[in-house]
Amino acid sequence: MTKTKAPVMKIIRTIIMFLISYCMLYPFLWMVAASLTQERQIFNYPFKLIPNPLNFEGYIDVWTRTTLGFPMVVYFFNSIKITAIGLAGSILSCSLAAYGYSKIKFPGRDKIFLLKLSTMMIPGQVLMLPNFLIYRYLGLVDTHAALWLPTLFGATFGTFFLRQFFTTIPMELNESAEIDGAGNLRIFWQIIMPLAKPALATLVIFNFMGLWNNYESPLIYLRSPKLYTMPLALKVISDDKDIIKYAGVMAGSVSAALPVLLVFIAAQKYFIEGITVTGIKG
Amino acid sequence: MIIKRRTRTIIDGYLFILPNLVGFLVFTLFSVIFSLTISFTSWDMIKGFKDIEFIGIQNYIDIFKDKWFVDSLMNNVYFLLFIPVQIFLALLVAVVLNGKIYGSKLVRTIFYMPQITNVVIISLLWSMLLNPSKGIINKIIMSFGVVNPPMWLGSTLWVKPAIILMMTWGGLGYNMILYLSGLQSIPTSLYEAADIDGASAFKKFFKITIPMISPTTFFVLIMSIISNFQMWSNIQILTNGGPGTASTVISFYIYSQAFRYGKMGYACSMSWILFLIVLVFTLIQWRGQKKWVNYM
């Protein structure tokens, strides 16, 4: 688009965009407002986006009520636990592997890497079933391990992303460190990793989002309510047609969405860069 | 014991990629072979290992006679048809956003928010908005005088449009950001030359923007097709495939057959059919790109 000198076009475009943005944002605004509205007012039309009176019953209800025998706090901590372990596992294994694929010359390296890359083409459905059976054989169904163990094996995407980044770090750094007598582990830990902070930050953010929001894996692997994570618990709460309170469901949703939203707003720059560079979704 | 430097390097290399390699060997290579093998059996998880029968390609034949599968495939295709519209919308929005506005970063954040939100939250939210009697969307429609607004998730006719509405809202941000970055790489000199020739905005859009952005369009198209065939959890939360089979999709059917009915053999073979379908679509796009994608 040509740069236009008249601010009039800019203002018109701004107005159009904000109108569209408002429509895009409306469902979320409704969600927050509904979570703070009295139950009987939720489906009022026209709907007041600023509820009057402000009602916190939804939040109190969803956080204190026991769903399937456990309060929301349990599910919240399950989510935190799995996200934390998963983050550590994936960052560690992806970066170790990326270092190996980029900084160490060993026979078969590039062939193995290419083979790994090509597996990204396989749809998740194909692997979902046999992997479930493997975990079942290992007795890991209905455990949290089934949810964070996969991250220890280095997701192809994370490994690819980091490996590309590592290749931009000059080999001279490696070589001079080797002359000084440092082994690969030391070079990895003390030289390469500190330089990779921006790429690592991007990976952490995307992994955090993926782990926190994950619904499919807990759905497939978990059977005992005490192990449920927040997304799964939320779904179960909303299924409870007899006791369902819409305000509570919305309050639960806002609570579950908040951590990711905060991380996203704080680290926006990495997000946008990450998507445009690699094309990955959330 | 002195280890030669060369050996040390090789050991190091494999050690570093060990978790990665193990994961690949077990959870990818082995899983693929495992899944392929099971797909040729009649394994039913409820009956256990004893009754496994090797039945060759019977599963694959049964799939195409299965009404539920055929319906799922039709639904997937139905959703596919709207992808061009969704992509075009994203391009339009990206073009407006690209032309310098106030608060563009804020707008980008707002558009991307659905992507970072959990599928459960989005589905629950939309099922409330689409509530036939109480939801806001129908209340708005009724305020325009329509007496019988659509039943949305409860209607075999309207459930798919409802899902498309939700998907468009959810996917716009991601596509828009990809287009934004693609737009940045179009040389402004092209537009300036067009201006000198007195071209209208319309002409500029269709003769310059669209052709020059075609690599991004190609990428967005492929990604959209792939994710179309892979989505299932939103359906599971919203409608469980219903009413009837009006909203079921292949991926959901696979989940249902494997984890609700225990028919592992059948589900595995279905997942391979899904793989083939996605492969075919991707290949068609790949071949077609020579015809309509301009690489600079």
Give the closest of B30, B134, B230 to A125, CB-based.
Answer: B230
Tell me the C-alpha distance between B44 and B26, whole Å: 23
In chain B, which residue ranges form alpha helices assigned H by DSSP? 5-16, 18-24, 31-39, 58-65, 67-81, 83-98, 104-116, 119-129, 136-143, 159-184, 188-196, 201-204, 210-212, 214-230, 233-238, 250-255, 264-292
Give the closest of A13, A104, A231 to B12, CB-based.
Answer: A104
- The DSSP bridge partners found for residue B235 are none
Q: Give me chain B's average pLDDT, please.
A: 85
* CB of A58 less than 8 A from some CB of B: no
In chain A, which residue ranges form alpha helices assigned H by DSSP? 7-35, 57-64, 72-103, 109-118, 124-137, 145-148, 156-167, 171-179, 184-186, 193-195, 197-213, 216-221, 230-239, 246-266, 268-278
Phi and psi at B225, nearest 5°, equal: -65, -45
What is the average pLDDT across B69-91?
A: 92
What is the average pLDDT across A254-272?
A: 82
Tell me the C-alpha distance between A137 and A222, whole Å: 15
Give the closest of A18, A153, A213 to B19, CB-based.
Answer: A153
- Residues of chain B neighbouring A163 (CB-CB closer than 8 A): none
The structure tokens listed for A2 are: 């040509």
CB pairs under 8 A between A and B: 276
Give the closest of B128, B139, B180 to A45, CB-based.
Answer: B139
Q: Give me chain A's average pLDDT, please.
A: 83
What is the average pLDDT across A110-124?
A: 83
Q: Is the pLDDT of residue A65 over 90?
A: no
pLDDT band (50, 70, 90) for residue B49: low
Contact B71, B245 (CB under 8 A): yes
Q: Is the pLDDT of residue A241 over 70?
A: no
Q: Is the pLDDT of residue B81 over 90?
A: yes
| Percent of all residues in chain A with a pLDDT value above 70, rounded to a whole number | 91
Give the closest of B99, B121, B192 to A253, CB-based.
Answer: B121
Q: What is the pLDDT of residue A5?
A: 57
Tell me the C-alpha distance between A52 and A253, whole Å: 21
Segment B232-286, tens digit of pLDDT: 988 998 888 778 888 899 999 999 999 888 888 899 999 999 999 998 988 888 8
Q: Which residue of B has its CA nearest to A263?
A: B116
- Residues of chain B neighbouring A264 (CB-CB closer than 8 A): 109, 112-113, 116
Q: Which of A104, A115, A156 is nearest to B11 (CA)?
A: A104
What is the average pLDDT across B68-97?
A: 91
Q: What is the pLDDT of residue B89?
A: 92
Tell me the C-alpha distance between A123 and B50, whole Å: 30
Q: Is the pLDDT of residue A212 over 70?
A: yes
Looking at CA atoms only, how far is residue B251 from chain A in angstroms? 7
Most confident of A148-157, A232-241, B81-90, B185-194: B81-90
What is the average pLDDT across A55-77?
A: 81
- Residues of chain A neighbouring B286 (CB-CB closer than 8 A): none
Give the closest of A129, A134, A235 to B268, CB-based.
Answer: A129
End-to-end CA distance of chain B: 57
∠ at Cα A127 (A124, A132), nearest 5°? 115
Give the closest of A11, A134, A152 to B31, CB-based.
Answer: A134
Looking at CA atoms only, how far is residue B272 from chain A in angstroms? 6
| Percent of all residues in chain B with a pLDDT value above 70, rounded to a whole number | 96
Q: Which of B22, B28, B97, B255 to mutate to test the interface with A (most CBs of A within 10 A)?
A: B28
Looking at CA atoms only, how far is residue A174 from chain B in angstroms? 13
Q: What is the pLDDT of residue B252?
A: 92
Segment B164-220, tens digit of pLDDT: 999 999 889 889 988 988 888 888 888 888 888 888 878 888 888 888 888 888 889
Do B35 and A119 make contact, defined as CB atoms within 8 angstroms?
Answer: no
Do A104 and B9 make contact, defined as CB atoms within 8 angstroms?
Answer: yes
pTM of the entire predicted model:
0.85
Looking at CA atoms only, how far is residue A235 from chain B in angstroms? 6
Do A279 and B223 make contact, defined as CB atoms within 8 angstroms?
Answer: yes
Phi and psi at B247, nearest 5°, equal: -125, 10
* CB of A138 less than 8 A from some CB of B: no
Give the closest of A131, A232, A249 to B124, CB-based.
Answer: A249
Do A130 and B93 make contact, defined as CB atoms within 8 angstroms?
Answer: no
Looking at CA atoms only, how far is residue A176 from chain B in angstroms? 16
Q: Is the pLDDT of residue A72 over 60?
A: yes
* CB of A6 less than 8 A from some CB of B: no
* CB of A17 less than 8 A from some CB of B: yes
Listed by number, the residues of chain B in 194-253 with a beta carbon closer than 8 Å to a beta carbon of chain A are 195, 219, 223, 226-227, 229-230, 232-233, 236-237, 251
Q: Which of B70, B269, B34 is nearest to A137 (CA)?
A: B34
Tokens 């996969």, located at residue: A150
So what's the ipTM on this one?
0.83
The structure tokens listed for A127 are: 């692997």
Q: Which of A120, A150, A117 is nearest to A216 (CA)?
A: A150
* CB of B113 less than 8 A from some CB of A: yes
Q: Which residue of A has its CA nearest to B129?
A: A27
What is the average pLDDT across B89-115?
A: 84
Do A129 and B98 make contact, defined as CB atoms within 8 angstroms?
Answer: no
Segment A143-200, tens digit of pLDDT: 898 888 888 887 888 888 888 888 888 888 888 888 888 888 888 888 888 888 888 8
Listed by number, the residues of chain B in 47-66 with a beta carbon closer than 8 Å to a beta carbon of chain A are none
Q: Is the pLDDT of residue A19 over 80?
A: yes
Q: What is the pLDDT of residue A282?
A: 43
Helix (H) or strand (E) segment spanning residue A70:
strand A70-71
Q: What is the pLDDT of residue A155?
A: 82
